Amino acid sequence: MVETDVLIVGSGPAGTSAALFLSTLGIPNIMVTKYRWTANTPRAHITNQRTMEIFRDLGIEDQVLAEATPHHLIGDTVFCTSMAGEEIGRILA
């Protein structure tokens, strides 16, 4: 038997953020996931300004920036009608 104040189901961006925020506030929590490992590749390619503000508030901004992909390797954001469909537009990421 395991007891916790908060059970977080899923280790994606929302679950991981919830665990980090709760831990920062000193609230006991356990995060469970259906996988036995964490991803070895990034799950986000572009991080918006508000997310970086949250990382700064949590004290992990420098770590996030150190692990980030250099901007020149990011590429473009492409808008298409489908995965292999007509390209509607493209913007620098």
For the chain, domain boundaries: 1-43, 45-93
How far apart, in whole angstroms, are the C-alpha atoms of residue 15 and residue 39? 14
Helix (H, G, I), strand (E, B) or coil at 28: coil
Per-residue pLDDT tens over the stretch 53-67: 888 988 989 998 888
In this predicted structure, the answer to whether residue 90 has a pLDDT above a threshold of 80 is: yes
How does residue 26 score in pLDDT terms, banded at 50, 70 and 90?
Answer: very high
* Backbone conformation region of residue 25, classed left if phi is above 0, alpha if psi is from -120 to 50, else beta: alpha
Written as six digits, the tokens of 11 are 């280790």
Compute the half-sphere exposure of residue 72: CA atoms within 13 Å on the CB side of its CA.
Answer: 0
Q: Is the pTM of this model over 0.85?
A: no
How many residues does this entry show for the chain?
Answer: 93
In this predicted structure, the answer to whether residue 72 has a pLDDT above a threshold of 70 is: yes
Nearest to 23 by CA among 48, 4, 36: 4
